[in-house]
Amino acid sequence: MHEIICPHCNKAFKIDEAGYADILKQVRDTEFEKQLHERLELAEKDKLNAVDLAKSQLTSEMQRVASEKDTEIQSLKAKLDTGEVNKKLAVNEALDDIKKERDALANMLEQIKRDTMAASELADAKLAKELLETAAAKDKEIQDLQAKLGTTLLEQKVAITAAVGAVEKERDEFKNSLKQAELEKQLAETSLKEKYETQIKDRDDAIERLRDMKARLSTKMVGETLEQHCETEFNRIRATAFPRAYFEKDNDSRSGSKGDYIFRDSDEAATEIVSIMFEMKNENDTTATKKKNEDFFKELDKDRIEKGCEYAVLVSLIEPESELYNSGIVDVFHRYPKMYVVRPQFFLPIITLLRNAAMKSLEYKKELALVKAQSVDITNFENDLDNFKTAFAKNYDLASRKFKTAIDEIDKSIDHLQKTKDALLSTDRNLRLANDKSQDVTIKKLTRRNPTMAAKFDELNEQDSSESE
């Protein structure tokens, strides 16, 4: 039973476990809905701010591009105007030169006419013929000058036509450049628009995924759901993308700690391509003490080294408001080598990214494995040779010691046999002496110092004598 005090009347009353759990659930659900609503409102505001920012940036970019294009158009127009002025100046200069040459010829002709008239007045009939000849020559010279003048005019016209053609060609090129710039401007506007629309869509998708995940989370499923989500996502593409990969939970805690999952992939020759130690971390919104992603870096790096993995990846939903971790794949090499922090939506991309990067160094790994194998073969041969030498030396030493022992035993046996021989020879000598001594024994010698025995032998001799009679 639990005792609850009413906040209005301050009256205490008791309720059973079921009622207390129901009231607690209502309070928790209300608070969770309130915080979820606040989070959704913040996400919506972030979305609107991102849209406004994208629109502002797009407008600014369009204005900048338009300003650049207007400047370029004004420059082209100025160049065209300059070309027109230069063309007119060239025509005027050509006409002025022609007019000057024509006036000079006319003046020359007038002077010649005056000279002819003066000569005709002063000269006689004889000089008239010469005047006529001179006039004919002058007429021919005038005709030549007029022909030259026509040729010069034609050349001027050709030059003017060529200059006008070059200016028109340059104008057309400027027009094409202007059209190309306008097209590039439109493409840039379209690209920027699609880029920001894609970012907005990705942000909406991420918000929707988080909203769906929060709706399905409970206090008991907080850490386990993320692991199950990642395992399900990997198993969904395992057969097609990673047919030879190993992706299992880390159950080896002999070193005192363990990660969540270990990923290893190899090629057909069983040469390892890449290995990753994964740690999945989630945190309930109602947790009193909030954790940070960096709180798990040291332990994750330790697990990576102890389990022999090349990379370490923290899949985390912690610090949901962090712009750094929400931006995508974040490397923390400045803290720990070969370590990344990702959101769940980047779980499969980080595996693919690291695997594809490792494929480039696969040939070097194969060569290194071959060199290691050759080194192992040489090492095994040297070890076998050393073992053979050691065993042979041991057996030789043992056999040598056994042979020496056998020689010593033979020498001992020879010494023993020699002693036995000497003993036997000594016994034979003693027996011979004993025999000699026995042969030298007589009754007389035996009874010489024994009167009793002498008397007995005498009695026996007498008996023998009497019996023989």
The answer to whether residues 266 and 273 touch, using CB atoms and an 8 Å cutoff, is yes
Among 7-16, 25-34, 287-296, 352-361, the range of highest mean pLDDT: 352-361
Please report the pLDDT score of residue 286 as a whole number.
Answer: 46
Given a cut of 70, whether residue 386 has pLDDT beyond it is yes
What is residue 265's three-state secondary structure? strand
Please report the pLDDT score of residue 457 as a whole number.
Answer: 67
Q: What is the mean pLDDT of residues 187-203?
A: 78
DSSP symbols for 215-259: HH--GGGHHHHHHHHHHHHHHHHHHHH-TT-EEEE----TTS---
Given a cut of 60, whether residue 222 has pLDDT beyond it is no
What is residue 7's three-state secondary structure? coil
Q: What is the mean pLDDT of residues 447-455?
A: 69
Please report the pLDDT score of residue 223 as a whole number.
Answer: 47
Summarised one tens digit per residue, pLDDT across range 402-434 is 767 777 777 777 777 777 777 777 776 777 776
Q: 185-189, 205-209, 235-239: which has the minimum mean pLDDT? A: 205-209
Please report the pLDDT score of residue 342 as a whole number.
Answer: 95
Summarised one tens digit per residue, pLDDT across range 164-185 is 677 678 777 767 877 887 788 7
Residue type (1 letter), 20: Y
Q: Which helix (H) or strand (E) holds 324?
A: helix 323-326
How many C-alpha atoms does 192 have within 13 Å on its Cβ side? 18
Please report the pLDDT score of residue 36 as a whole number.
Answer: 66
Summarised one tens digit per residue, pLDDT across range 59-112 is 777 778 777 777 877 877 777 677 666 666 766 676 676 677 667 766 776 776
Domain ranges of the chain: 242-380, 386-421
Given a cut of 50, whether residue 388 has pLDDT beyond it is yes
Please report the pLDDT score of residue 441 as a whole number.
Answer: 59
What is the DSSP secondary structure assignment for residue 2, as one 8-state letter? E
Q: Which of 133, 460, 231, 23 lies closest to 141, judged by CA?
A: 133
Confidence of residue 219 (pLDDT cuts 50, 70, 90): very low
Given a cut of 90, whether residue 348 has pLDDT beyond it is yes
Whole-angstrom distance, CA of residue 177 vs CA of residue 73: 10
Confidence of residue 294 (pLDDT cuts 50, 70, 90): very high
Which structure tokens are listed for 38? 């606040």
The phi and psi torsions of 2 (rounded to 5 degrees) equal -120, 140
Summarised one tens digit per residue, pLDDT across range 122-170 is 656 666 676 667 667 766 766 776 677 667 667 767 777 776 677 678 7
DSSP symbols for 436-455: HHHHT--HHHHSTT-HHHHH
The answer to whether residues 311 and 354 touch, using CB atoms and an 8 Å cutoff, is yes
The answer to whether residues 257 and 238 touch, using CB atoms and an 8 Å cutoff, is no
